[in-house]
Structure 1
């Protein structure tokens, strides 16, 4: 579990795109080492022009938050509007567009802490629904992680990718009181 005193969450800034890319690269390398290439593939985010542009867009927006342990970013959260490939919500919501943590700090509850922060942001905005999508393939371990954080699986979906295998996704939601 996270020691609340050692993890602070701060808003992202323009120069945090490199931090997001570093976190994505480390997570991708960890997934590849585990033989779990279906989620993010095998290539580093820092070599993918689409991911680089996405990280810069997140850093320039107002939905990026970083989990900090001292001066080191150990996780990133991006919240905003739902992505186009998921079924739309039937009510106002806050959507988790990215959750990534530093695998060197795995097991410290950083992801759960960031999701709690996202729920807090949604409540502050008067929203009663927090949604996220994730990779729903293989053994669905990521789906189970989100379920363990209070989310309920709702809509499965598939993203067709020209020249590559389809990407199985799962939307999850968490009702906020």
Structure 2
């Protein structure tokens, strides 16, 4: 289903979107590194990272991917799943849930509120599925800026975790 909000078209994604999603991820890694953040996603572009392209392919085929387009150009993506990555140190919820596995925008579209539009779409999709819990996990380093972003979008911090030395935060939102 397509959704048009504030000039942003949100559509279901699929395998054909892999090059665009890899480009989004690569632009995010470069942007983070330019700001001194080498911890969140490392320093290697996602398209060159061992297993990076395969992970994107799995996101686009095994999960519920959504693409936000600006003037017909894929500009951001959100991937929903029915729970956290089974290999992550995060317990599944004790009820049905939707889980944000990936949210990223291409940096050339910064300031367009694409992440906000995609999170609102995730809430709508969760509601349409009859599910009442939407969760996400994110990097909790860097002064907690990313955690604050999700909190501004209606999420509440629930549990912290470490994946090696990578600090993470799980956040949840109840969907009416």
Taking structure 2 as the reference length, the TM-score comes to 0.92
- Note if contact 1:87-1:155 (Cα within 8 Å) is conserved in structure 2: no
Are 2:173 and 1:174 equivalent residues in the alignment?
yes
- Note if contact 1:17-1:58 (Cα within 8 Å) is conserved in structure 2: no
Distance 1:4 1:122 in 2: 18
Please give the residue correspondences for 1:97-112 in structure 2 after superposition, counting only pairs within 5 Å. Answer: 97-112=101-116
CA offsets 1:20-72 (integer angstroms, 9 cap, x no match): 11000000100000001111011100101311111111222341110001221
Distance 2:7 2:157 in 1: 31
Q: Number of residues paired by the alignment?
A: 170
Please give the residue correspondences for 1:147-158 in structure 2 after superposition, counting only pairs within 5 Å. Answer: 147-158=151-162
Are 2:84 and 1:82 equivalent residues in the alignment?
yes
Structure 1 stretches (4+) deviating beyond 4 angstroms? none
How far apart are residue 13 of structure 1 and its match?
A: 1.8
Match in the other structure for 1:57: 58
Distance 2:157 2:109 in 1: 26
Give 3-state SS (helix, strand or coil) of 2:135's partner.
strand
Match in the other structure for 1:146: 150
Distance 1:22 1:70 in 2: 17
Match in the other structure for 2:20: 19
2:138 equivalent among 130, 134, 137: 134
Distance 2:43 2:126 in 1: 33
